[in-house]
A and B are shown apart, each in its own frame.
Chain A
């Protein structure tokens, strides 16, 4: 598949969504609502669940499956209250020493007047600060689209995993083609140039692990992810907190680390 074909696969209407992964991978998922400030964002679902014998905090961007639900969930584009809900649930996870697992799937943070009025920039910035300093292990899994800052706000993690056909980019190929080249038709070039596929991001050291999904049953894929999560959380939970946060800092510190001449 070309890069743009992968973009289309990541956006395909029948693709599995965050809640479906949660239901398949974890047990007894108990959803917790609200940002404790003004609202509950339906584009972000979060709560507590069991991963085997371990309680974990799970947060996912949810696009919805039916047309009606997609509209209700704003097509998985979170508003500031969605990020603030995630912050609240992460703080709660930290208090009880639960690891955090995030599922990322969004074309981008909500782009409308309400989002700006409620401080979309500030909400994302706060998530970045919080996640960088989070004292429990956090793993982010890209299951579909990873659109810019709206995706990053749930992907400041100890490990970043991606499905084979998930994408992650600073800007959509459409945006890149029309802004940079003033030619909306060059989306395929843009998708190539942006290095946004899971395979590209593995090479760049942004994705630690890529899960194959071609010819793999959903249940089987989820079993693989579940086993990988169990193993990774076993290891990271054994680390002293200082070591855990120091490693996360070092991970992000290294991106674009430049040497003086």
Chain B
């Protein structure tokens, strides 16, 4: 049952950061096995199809799955940006993204407890311009690391991103350096940072905070890379082999610590947080 995933073409429209997300429906159809599952049933199964396919999750869904009930306290929920380089059509695109995702921007940040272990948490939002990183995403993640450094908290981050948001031009690119600076200071303070790579994590997010964790976990079969697969195929004029840039490929090449399915995610994260809290509480 695993094999057929390897022959599917990667979901390339995600790289474009532009596809309009579809509004919630009563059920979702698996793109691999074609089975239709009611939303309520999927919710119980952490958005995993019977065949093992991992449906994309909104940032809020993930927070709900990962954080202990009632423990999540959101930080900077209202932070919004404009169009810093006045890129044509960008304001409209932002308005559409806000409407369709119900979020103000592409990342949700806050503090939470995971099986009782406190942490700072960020979760990127795939339904907001494919989690692309503009100035607001960069600013919120930077603030979260600064906050975590000040209050001596571990950081747990879920990444999903098409990369830097080109409508904000060079300022998007510079968020890579800005967030990396904040991650570096958090790290220099001896604090723990864990990333969970989810499908897809590409471009400027891969080339910055996604790959800077002390421990890097990935969801099964997640596409993770710097250049997107379609760009590589166009540049090299070669077809990419099956499974290229998937989580399993990264594990094999030494770039992720472990692949963790959704049902073990929370316990694994909690266990790793506990290792970094000093003595075990018995």
- Spell out A's residues near B (CB within 8 Å): 109, 111-113, 115-122, 124-126, 128-129, 131-133, 148-149, 152-153, 156, 168-171, 175-176, 179-180, 193-196, 201, 204, 206, 248-249, 252-253, 255-258, 260-261
> Do most interface residues of chain B lie in helix, strand or loop, or is the interface mixed?
helix
Shortest CB-to-CB span from A6 to chain B, Å, is: 14
Identify which of B139, B235, B236 contacts A256 (C-beta below 8 A): B139
The segment from B21-29, B57-65, B199-207, B271-279 that touches chain A is: B199-207
User: In whole Å, how far is B175's beta carbon from the nearest beta carbon of chain A?
Assistant: 6
Instruction: Assess whether B208 is interfacial by the CB under 8 Å rule.
Output: yes
> When chains A and B are docked, how far (Å) is the Cα of A256 from the Cα of B138?
8
Contacts A149-B226, A256-B171, A258-B79; is A156 near B166 (CB within 8 Å)?
no
Q: A111-B235, A257-B139 are in contact. Are A249 and B170 (CB under 8 A)?
A: no
Known A-B contacts A116-B232, A125-B209; the reply to A195 vs B170 at CB < 8 A is: yes
Q: Which residue of A lies closest to B140 (CB)?
A: A258
Residues on A with C-beta less than 8 A from B224 are 121
Do A206 and B174 have beta carbons less than 8 Å apart? yes
Task: Please tell me which one of the listed residues A125, A168, A170 contacts residue B172 in the complex, with CB atoms under 8 A apart.
Answer: A170
Knowing A132-B184, A180-B166, the reply to whether A115 touches B139 (Cβ < 8 A) is no
Residues of B near A121 (CB, < 8 A) are: 206-207, 210-211, 224-226
Which label, helix, strand, loop or mixed, suits the secondary structure of the A interface? helix
- A126 and B183 CA atoms in complex are apart in Å by 11
Name the A residues within 8 Å of B198 (CB-CB): none
Q: Is B6 an interface residue (CB 8 A)?
A: no
Shortest A248–chain B CB gap in Å is: 8
For the complex of A and B, list the 5 residue pairs with the smallest distance between their C-beta atoms, beginning with the closest.
A256-B135, A121-B206, A128-B180, A132-B181, A124-B207
Whether B171 pairs with A255 at a CB distance below 8 angstroms is yes
Tell me, rounded to whole Å, the shortest Cβ–Cβ distance linking A250 to chain B.
Answer: 10
Q: Is the CB of B84 within 8 A of A256?
A: yes
Task: Please tell me if the beta carbons of A120 and B227 are within 8 angstroms of each other in the complex.
Answer: yes
Residues of B within 8 A of A193 (CB): 85, 87-88, 169
Flag if A112 contacts B15 (CB, 8 Å): no
Distance, CA A260 to CA B236, complexed state (A): 45
Docked-complex contact A116 and B245, CB < 8 angstroms: yes
Are B80 and A170 neighbours in the complex by a CB distance under 8 Å?
no
Contacts of A201 in B (CB 8 A): 170
> Hey, which chain A residues are within 8 Å of B16, CB to CB?
179-180
